[in-house]
Amino acid sequence: MPSFDIVSKIDLSEVDNAINGAMREISSRYDFKNSESKISRDGDQIELIAEDQYKIDQVQQIFRTHLVKRKLSSGSFDFSKVEDARGGLLRQKSEIIQGIDKEISQKINKCLKNSKIKIQVAIRGEELRVTSGKKDLLQKAISLTKELNIRQPIQFINFRD
């Protein structure tokens, strides 16, 4: 029976590559000369550090640009508000969102059930498994899911015939 999974994952090695590229750009820019601005990752958390609000906004913009160059969606990052750090610096943290949370998976499930397509949707933790007797119905399910305009990037993987 044909099936596929709906997931939301991000390649952490590509995130590291984006951070390294952003740090190279920051170190070479004139307006960041003698600056303590930096980007670091610890697990599923990104930390931006800069001297003032202008520079932290620029660091975030540079980071987002390098994410796009690496074909990563900035929708996978939940940036918190800017807070004070040690030594008069500012810090902004961001969580890397991995997995589909309960609300979004229920929204996808409800949309697919209301479409009256003959498919079965099973919520399996942070992913969804969609099965059907025909491949065409699975393709309709994919297009319906894409039309939901979910902010978080989702991928369709493990297509089995």
pLDDT tens track for 57-72: 999 999 999 999 999 8
Give the number of C-alpha atoms closer than 13 A to the C-alpha of residue 34, restricted to the C-beta side. Answer: 0
pLDDT band at 47 (very low <50, low <70, confident <90, very high): very high
Residues 90, 122 within the same domain: no
Same domain, 45 and 81: yes
- Same domain? 82 vs 106: no
Pairwise CA distance, residues 19 & 31, whole Å:
19
Q: What value does the mean pLDDT of the chain take?
A: 90
pLDDT for position 56: 92
- With beta carbons less than 8 A apart as the criterion, state whether 68 and 46 touch: no
Per-residue confidence band for 40, with pLDDT thresholds at 50, 70 and 90: very high
Q: Which of 80, 96, 112 is the last residue of a domain?
A: 96
- Amino acid 120 reads Q
Based on the fold, state whether residues 88 and 137 are members of the same structural domain. Answer: no
The residue type of 3 is S
DSSP state of 44: T
Domain around 140 = 3-8+100-160
Domain-terminating residue out of 52, 69, 96: 96
Asked if 92 and 107 sit in the same domain, the reply is: no
Q: What is the pLDDT of residues 94-147, one digit of tens each?
A: 999 888 888 888 888 888 888 888 888 888 888 889 998 888 888 888 888 888
Q: For position 67, which CATH number holds? A: 3.30.70.990
Q: Are residues 16 and 92 located together in one domain of the fold?
A: yes
- DSSP-based helix, strand, coil % in the chain, nearest 5: 40, 30, 30
Q: Which of 96, 118, 139 is the last residue of a domain?
A: 96
The span from the CA of 82 to the CA of 69, in Å, is: 25
Task: Tell me how far apart the alpha carbons of residues 129 and 140 are, in angstroms, rounded to a whole number.
Answer: 15
φ, ψ of residue 104 in degrees (nearest 5): -70, -40
Give the count of domains, the chain: 2
Which spans in the chain are helix H?
12-28, 53-69, 102-114, 135-146
**Judgement on whether residues 118 and 69 belong to the same structural domain of the protein:** no
Contact between residue 120 and residue 133 where contact means Cβ atoms under 8 Å apart:
no
**Mean pLDDT for the stretch of residues 81-85:** 89
Residue 1 has a pLDDT of 84
Same-domain pairing of 52 and 123: no
Q: Are residues 92 and 17 in the same domain?
A: yes
* This prediction's pTM: 0.82
